[in-house]
Structure 1
C-alpha cells in the first residue's frame, strides 16, 4: 500500500512554493511549509532596493507550468516578480500549507524521523525535511573599523530603509560594486543624490539592454501562445548556448563574451582615467558578469564619484580612505553581498548519531549531487553547493531538482526504503568530477568572488546546463544507501 509521508519544507520563496505544488500534485497531503517572515517571496521579498530587477530574461524566469506573457520589462523588476509568485501561490492554493512567522530553529534526525523545533517553541515530526532556504539570503557585513560609529543612516541593500531620504542633495556612500550596486547606483544618481561609490574591485558589465513591453505586445503574447513560447525558448537557448558556455570554458562563446564586455567598457566610458579605474584585471566571468546598461552612464555624471582608495575606517562623519581623505556622508549603503555557504544555517541541525551540520561541513561544503548529505537521511538541500549554473534561471534549476526529489520520495511511498542518504564515496566522486571540470572555467580566472569556498574552489556547476539536466534526470541508486526501519542496510538496485 502506498504511504503518505509527512514533508517539511523550510522557506516559502520560489523553491518552497514549487515544492508545495509538486508534492500536492503527487497526492501527498501532509505538507508543512515554514516561513520565518509574514509573507512569501524569498529574495524578492527581502530585496526592495531602488532598481532591483532580475538579470535573467523575464519570460524565462517563470515556472515551466505557469508562463507569464504579461511581464512589463525584458528584465523583470523585483515588485513584479514578487507579484508573480504571489499570484502562483494563490492560484495553486499553497497558502494553506504555510506557517508564517515561524522559522525552524532546530532539526534533529532519529529513528527515521526528523524532529523540529520552531521559533514559536513548537515541536513537529516529519518523514522528510527539505531546505528551500535559497543561496543568497544572509547579508554579509564588512569588517571595517568604526562601522558602528557613523552618526548618519547606515543599512545593507538587502535591508533597504525606505524611510531614509536618499534624494536630491543627500550625500550617499555605497560600499561595493556588485550586481546589486550596479542596479541601485543609477537610481540614486538619477534621483539627484550626491553618490560616492567605494570600489574595491571593478566588475565586467555585459550590455544587454532592458526594454519595456507594451500593452499591445502583451495582448499579442496572450492571444498567440506560440509567440510567447518562442520568446521563452529563445531566452533559454541564448543563456544556455552563449552565456553559460562562455563561463564554462567553451572557446567561441568565451571570446564573444570577453569581446562584448571589453568593447562595452571602451565605448561607454569616455574618460581614460575613469575607464582604467573601472577595468578589471581578471578574466571575464571570473566574478558573476553583471548584465547592465545603466551603471556606466550614471558613474560619469557630476553627482557620482568613483573612489578606489581603500577604506581605512568609518567615522561619525563618513568614510576615511587610506589616502587620508574624509568623505563626509549623510547615508552609507552596504552593498557587500551575502554569505553563500550558510544555506540552512544558522539552524541547529544534527543528523545521524548527533552529527552537527557545522561539524559535517567544517572542512568543506559538499553534497551529492548538490542536494543530499551523508549522515543526514531523508534530507534534501535545494540549490545546494555546485547548483548555480552560469547566470541561468534558478527557477529552472529548482524544477529539475524538485523532480529528482519527487522520484526518491515516490520510492519511499512504494515501501522501497525508510531512509535514504548518499554513500560517502559517491559524494567524493561527484565533487572530484566537479573539481576537474572547474579547471577550464572562467571562475578560476584569478579573482576573489562569492563563488569560492574556504579552499578557493568555486561552488558552481562547471559543465553545460544540458549535462546537468541529463545527470539529474534519474537518481543513480547505486550511489545511494537505503535502510529499512530495522536499520538493516539494503543495496539499492
Structure 2
C-alpha cells in the first residue's frame, strides 16, 4: 500500500479536505450514493439528471403492466425498508413512489440539477479534478465522479427498411406514447423480451389484431405473485424485524437460483420443466408451441416471469410471427416469406443498448484516454466499478454487475459501501487521486471471464448480456455473496495513490 495511506508510527491529525462529488443520474444507484453521502454528513455533492424528475428506468418505463421481476422487499434499500408493499412483485407506480419517498426523506432535491445532460467529463490531471461539460455548455468541476446511469437507459431501435415511410404511430416501450389509442387497431410488437411479456397481455384484449414479431423464443416461468394481505402488512408494520427476516428469506431463495445458470445444471432443467409445463397448460396448438419453445438452455438469455403470457399467446387475435421482417410499408410490415401484415401501430420491445455503457457521454481520463476507445472490444472494469486511467471515477451497476438471479439493489449497496471507503482515503490532503492499476484490473477480469465460461451466459445464444463477438460484458459470474465478500473493503494496493 502506498505511504500516503499507511505511514508508520504516531502522527498528528491532519485536517481532511472537502471533496466535491458529482453523481450522474437519479435512478436507484444515484439515489443510494447520495443518501449514503448525506448519512455520512457529506453535503458537498451535486446530482446531474438529464430529465425533469427522478426515477431512472422507473420514470421512463410507464407501459401498461410495467413492474419488477425481483420481489418487492428485496427491491428496496436495506437501510430504508418499505413495510407496506402492496404485492410480492411491485408495479412501476409503487416503485417510483418509493424512490420519491427516499428522495424526500433524505432531502435530496436541493442537490439535484434537473434537465442537465452531461456531454463530456474530462480529467484534469494537474488539478486532480474532473471537468464536466453539460449539453447547455455549463462546466462543473468535481474531485470525484460517480456514474449512476446503469446499463438499461438507452432504448435500442432496430434498423428496418422503409420504416421512415410508415404512416401510423411507432414508439419504443421505454418511451410509451399514452396518447395512442390501441382499441380496434392492428398492432405490431417487435420483440418479445422482458417488457413485452408485461405489456402484451395488457393490450391484447384492446387490439383488433396483435402480431408479435419474434426473433427467438424465451424461457418463461410462472411468477409467484400475489397481493400481500392486510394482516401481513399489519404484522410488518408492528414487527419490522419480520421484514428483515422476510427479506433474508427472499435473498437466500434467489441466491440459490444461481445454480440454475451453471452449464449443465440440474436446476436449469427445473426452470425448463416449469416453463414447458406452463406452456402446455395454456397453449394447445402444436405449431404455436413449437414457435414458443426456445432452442437454447434456460438462462442463456434472461429467464422471464409471467402468469399471463401463454394464455395471451393462445388468444384468437394474437399471432406469433417468426419470419424475419423484410421491410415496412406505409401501412404494413412485410416478412421475408412475402406476407404483408396490416399495421396501424408499431411498438418496439427491442430492449436497450446495454453493451454501450455510459454512451453517448464522452469520458476522457489521463493522457486524453477516451473510455469509448478503451471499451472498443467490450466494456470491463475493476470490480465493475473503476477503470485504469480514469482516476476518482466510479460506476454503479457497471460492467459485469448485472444479475440473472438476484436483486441489483444488493450489488449497488456493495458498490456504494466500497466507494464510501475510497472517499475516506481521498479526503486526505496528501492524496490528489487514486487510479486503479491496469494489472489489477486485467487480473480481475481474467478471473471473471474464466468463471463466466462455467455459466449458460457464455453459451452459444446471442443476448443483450454480451457483445457481437461473444464477450459477456453485463453479467456477474457467480453468487452475489462472492461479490459482497470482494467488495467489503478496497485494497489500495490495487490502486496508484497519487499525491
**After TM superposition, what 4+ stretches of structure 1 lie above 6 angstroms from structure 2?**
none
5+ residue gaps, structure 1, are 485-493
215, 229, 232: which one pairs with 1:217? 232
Give the Å deviation of 1:25. Answer: 1.7
* TM-score (ref. length: structure 1): 0.95
- Whether 1:428 and 2:463 are equivalent positions in the alignment is no
2:7 matched residue in structure 1: none
| Structure 1 segment 252-271 matched on structure 2, within 5 A | 252-271=266-285
Alignment correspondent of 2:106: 92
What is the CA–CA distance in structure 1 between the aligned matches of 2:170 and 2:405, rounded to whole Å?
A: 30
Shift of 1:221: 1.8
> Which residue in 2 is equivalent to 1:407?
421
Contact 2:378-2:471 at 8 Å conserved across structures: no
Q: State how 1:184-203 maps to structure 2 within 5 Å.
A: 184-203=199-218
8 A contact 1:174–1:332 mirrored in 2: yes
The answer to whether residue 140 in structure 2 is matched with residue 121 in structure 1 is no
Structure 1 equivalent of residue 160 of structure 2: 144
CA distance in 1, matches of 2:80, 2:206: 36
Q: Is the CA contact (8 Å cut-off) linking 2:186 and 2:207 kept in structure 1?
A: no
Deviation at 1:267, TM superposition (A): 3.0
Asked if 1:174 is matched to 2:207, the reply is no
Secondary structure, aligned partner of 1:190? coil
- Structure 1 residue 83: Cα displacement: 0.6
TM-score (norm 2): 0.94
Query: Which residue of structure 1 lines up, in the alignment, with residue 306 of structure 2?
Result: 292
| Aligned pairs for 1:243-392 within 5 A | 243-249=257-263, 251-392=265-406
Is structure 2 residue 259 aligned with structure 1 residue 233?
no
Shift of 1:252: 4.1
User: 1:424-460: per-residue Cα shift (whole Å, max 9, x none)?
Assistant: 1111111110111111111123211000124312121
Q: Is the 8 A contact 2:355 2:466 kept in 1?
A: no
Does the C-alpha gap of structure 1 residues 281 and 224 become closer, same or farther in structure 2, counting only changes over 3 Å? Answer: same
- Is contact 2:366-2:389 (8 Å) kept? yes
Mapped pair 1:441 → 2:463? no
Shift of 1:259: 2.6
> Does the Cα contact within 8 Å between 1:52 and 1:77 map onto a contact in 2?
yes
Q: Contact conserved, 1:4 with 1:29, CA < 8 A, in 2?
A: no
- How far, CA to CA, are the matches of 2:466 and 2:483 in structure 1? 20
Deviation readout 1:462-484 (Å, 9 max, x if unpaired) = 11111111011111222111111
Query: Residues 481 and 455 of structure 1: is their aligned pair in 2 closer, same or farther, counting only changes over 3 Å?
Result: farther
Unaligned runs of 5+ in 2: 1-14
CA separation in 1, counterparts of 2:225 and 2:318? 22
Residue 158 of structure 1, CA deviation: 0.6
**Alignment partner of 1:374: what SS?**
coil
Paired residue for 2:97, among 83, 105, 113? 83
CA gap 1:252/1:283 in 2 versus in 1, 3 angstroms? closer
Q: Following the alignment from structure 1 to structure 2, what is the Cα–Cα distance between the partners of residues 70 and 249?
A: 38
Structure 2 counterpart SS, 1:148: helix
Does the aligned pair in 2 maintain the 1:106–1:347 contact within 8 Å?
yes
Contact residue 351 and residue 357 of structure 1 kept, 8 A: yes
**Structure-1 separation of matches of 2:40 and 2:242:** 31
- TM-superposition CA deviations, 1:16-70 (whole Å, max 9, x none): 1111111122222211000001100000001011110000001111000111121
User: Is the 8 Å Cα contact of residues 255 and 405 (structure 2) preserved in structure 1?
Assistant: no
- Matched positions, count: 482
8 Å contact from structure 2 (residues 17, 429) kept in 1: yes
Offset of 1:213 from its aligned partner?
Answer: 2.2
State the alpha-carbon separation in 2 of the partners of residues 187 and 326 from structure 1.
Answer: 25
Q: Given that residues 248 and 463 in structure 1 are in contact (C-alpha distance below 8 angstroms), is that contact kept between their aligned partners in structure 2?
A: no
The 1-side partners of 2:430 and 2:316 are apart by 68
Q: Is the 8 A contact 1:434 1:462 kept in 2?
A: yes
Q: Deviations over 1:376-418 (max 9, x none)?
A: 1000011111101223211111110000001111111134622
Residues 119-128 or 156-165, more deviating:
119-128
- Give yes or no for contact 2:357–2:379 (8 Å, CA) kept in 1: no
> Structure 1, residues 330-379: CA drift from partner, whole Å, max 9, x if none?
11101011001222221122111111122221233111011111111000
How far apart in 2 are the matches of 1:409 and 1:416?
13
**Residue in 2 aligned with 1:163?**
179
Inter-partner Cα distance in structure 2 for 1:480 and 1:250: 38
Report the RMSD for the aligned CA atoms in angstroms: 1.4
What's 2:6 paired with? none
**1:489 matched to which residue of 2?**
none
CA distance in 2 between counterparts of 1:452 and 1:262 reads 26
